[in-house]
Amino acid sequence: MMNWRVGVWTVAGLTCATWYGVEAAWMARRRGSGSRPLASERRSTLVLLGMGVLGEAGAVALAWRRPTVPLVGDRTTAALVALPAVWAGLAVRWWAVRTLGTHFRATIDVRDDQPVIRTGPYRYVRHPSYTGGLLAVAGAATVLNDVPAWLVLTGSTLAALLYRIHTEDTILIHHLGPDYTDYAATTPRLIPRVW
């Protein structure tokens, strides 16, 4: 039987290493255009990071208490359920970053040569990298195998993403105009065919 603490740290470590490794590789590879940003916003990035840290700390603290409220079977089963969700989420995020190519930025940064991307995962949702990130976090939270811990980690991530999506959509509508407004009117934000 797998020690659940080993499972927690293994999934968390693999998630973080892969997530940041893929993102760092794409940031290093992107050449970007020489154009200056029309709009740049960093507060929502800080909100994402802050809520991530608070959510992780709260979830781990809840999962260490006794008794826990199991999410799925035992902790070994939870780890086995978590890994496919984590890797699927990272794959969706990677697909989104790859589709954006040189237009990918870690912060909200609108440039004058920026088109509205409608290919790849952007055919299905406006913010697929956030969809992938949320799926990866929900998967990683599953390994804790505790309903309150899962709700805290997934909920804090979702709250931060909702703030980020609202901020990003507002900026993109303002700077990209009717092209983005038309895209937004026909493409869900985060979940295909739902919202």
> Across the 195 residues of the chain, what is the mean pLDDT of every consecutive 10-residue run?
53 57 55 66 91 89 82 84 91 94 87 92 97 94 90 96 97 95 97 93
Tell me the C-alpha distance between 10 and 4, whole Å. Answer: 10
- Considering the domain 4-26+37-186, what is its CATH architecture? Up-down Bundle (1.20)
Q: What is the pLDDT of residue 13?
A: 57
pLDDT reported for residue 73: 85
pLDDT given for residue 21 in this prediction: 58
What pLDDT score does 125 carry? 98
